[in-house]
Structure 1
């Protein structure tokens, strides 16, 4: 079917297919970008949610350990409840201050920022979805710690989904819990999604602009290359038809180094050779015609002489015979010259046929070479397409790796900020413990002063001395417990600083990995572009080679026609040679007759 189309139409069809291919590639690329964006948002949501869970667990476990150390030195339940309420009443976290702690004993609220809930059994409290949050949190704490999701009112925002974590305070029957509102996570997710969407949209516009410029350049270059292929082939085809019609005066422009220029040069040389050979043949033919006319005149003269000899045989037999003998010699000479010219014409025709045959052989070899080039170009086009597919797959894998690394990088930064906040909270607890230590020191001093005053009072101050001694012991226990809590807080701060350092190093390594992945993606995009350009050029070469092969076949047919004409010329020359040979035989017979006449005349 393609052989029925011209090369120009084939090139236009090839350009149209290339445009469709690039358009399909762009559509697939945009679809992949949108898929990657959705995947990134989903992964960000998952990572942020898991990060919030880790933050809640670490903060709650740390607070539980601190409260456990404090409560171990307070045996009275009422004092414990009061100390718990005092320690968590003003403690807040999250930017909007919506994060706080609460303490329960079973399902009874012991400490909470809402004092109206203190001392109440909240076992029957449930949200609008029917979740008994206090009951579920108590079960999670008794099971070693766990999470519960439920709906809870948020100041200035109404009912919002909330994620809470609860665990037991070591050494007590109390459970401490805290939670964060999920809408805070969703707001962060929305900001990240909007940022990713902006990046994807900007990069998409840039890529489409670059592709449009490249496509315009490729179209102009393809049209220019197609014109450089079709114009020489059209000239070669017209020249071949002109030569086949007998016009050997064609002039072809063979400047250039491509196959089409070589073909035009070969046609030009062939036309010049045929023109020279035909001029030689025409000259030899005219000369042979002149010789034939001379021979015909000689034959006429011989016939006339023979008639005169018959009329006046007795009067001038010898004279007529001599004249006929002279004519025969002239005929012999003319026949020899004609035979020589015919031989020259035959040799020229043979040379012409040999050159035409050589040209036909060269055209067949060039046609075979062109077909081989077309096959190799088609194979190279297939290989280039496979390389482009592999490069596109590699580019997509690198893009996914970059997005995953960016997501991990953001999660690591959030975790680092959480660790910093944990360190700050530990420092705040340390300051509280310093205040407690100062109070214990003052209490100890007051107990000592009271004991001294009781000793001065004698028997009347003995009971007061016992109370002062108990107060002093309690102050010493408080100082010891405060010292232990301070050591625990120092350990937490040291571990937090170590985790922050490790997180900063991980962030640095992730940043380098993201940069390297970006560079790999750019290199693979360049490979994709180079593979697409090479595939298009190779396909163009293959198509041009097929059309050039078709043109070569037409030229071969024209050469075969010229060869047939040369064969006919050779046959005509051979027939002329046979006629001359027959004329020579007749001249010999005439010579014998003349010899007989001379003998008769002498006798």
Structure 2
């Protein structure tokens, strides 16, 4: 059996153990989840029954004479209509009819009795007071009793379900941990056996690798068996045979290359001297061209900055001129509105004078009415009993006249305040008009000045553009000269660097040839190497052969 087959067998056994544990756990978990779902449904049913009971008890002392009783009865009826189908859906099918007849019928009768009590309360309140007590004892009390019985039965069932769930969880813990522990033990044992077998095989390979590390190229790895390690050993042994042949050829070629490297080193020194002189001349030319190009580039940058600044100032003056024109238009509109407001203030003052005249007239009428009411009261007092009604009317007329006089006083005060505010506002508006005229004139002057500045900036921008075009032509010419000189300098430096790099390379090549010859002497050829023979299929040792 190969190593991969052994490992796959271990994996398959591990998966089988895990699947067994998962299957048992899934079965118990599904059963526990079903019991938890039933417990949740029973809790929801208990909440609904408690809600029905609370609604019933809330109406146990309902007073039909109160307005809120009808609202409470309607809300309770809506709650029963909403919860009754949910309760029936949660109950077993065998209990539907019994619950419906016991609860729905009692609630319907109670609702009808309370509705009748509310109708009777509108005409005969004393008769309506006796109906809620009778309806409670006849219909609502049996309903509450039935709900208590159902709640008690539901609580007992819930306790039994909780006990069963606790037992299932304990059983789930036992059935999961037990098989899992056995599976872990089996996996550890199988992995230990595989590790022990691999350790014996690898010990023999390690012994052969130690001999190879000492330079014995004729040493071969053990090839007993048909597993992956044996196939790998066969491939490595073939590689060692090829390597031994290759090293023999490399040794002969290294000796010939050492002599040729000595000749190449002398030629390299001559080429380096010529390349160094050429690189120095190219570097001087490149530096001179670079200074010319830098001066042209600096002029171009300054011109670009001047042109950008001129364009920015032009934009800003145009924006300021536009803002001044818009401000002048808005200021003219504001002055027109100020004139209109001044005219309206004059009209408001005239209207205030008219209102004051009308208020004075109303006050005079109120004083005359008060005097007439006083005279009427005196005449009614003289008339005695027959003039009592007229005296009441005269008193009301007098009170009305006094309120009218008070109202006219308030109007006079309000008109006085309006006149004061109008005077202050009129002065403010006139000052604002004068200030607006001055501001409009200043904005017109500023707009004319900005227009002159804009024209001057346009001329400056045109001149700077002409200078920039000439500078660009000069910069292009200087850049071409710099590129050409840099290209020549780079080539000269590259040749110098390459030749300078070749010199140490030839020296290193000489050193490498000598080192290679020395290293080749470390390898022992086939006539010096010991052989590695198998001891048994699981372990190997080496045997020496005489040189």
Give the structure, 1 or 2, with the largest relative contact order (CA under 8 Å, sep 6 or more).
2
**What interval of TM-score do these two structures reach, taking the shorter chain for normalisation?**
under 0.3
Q: Which has the higher helix share?
A: 2
Q: With structure 1 as the length reference, what TM-score do the two structures score?
A: 0.25
Q: With structure 2 as the length reference, what TM-score do the two structures score?
A: 0.27
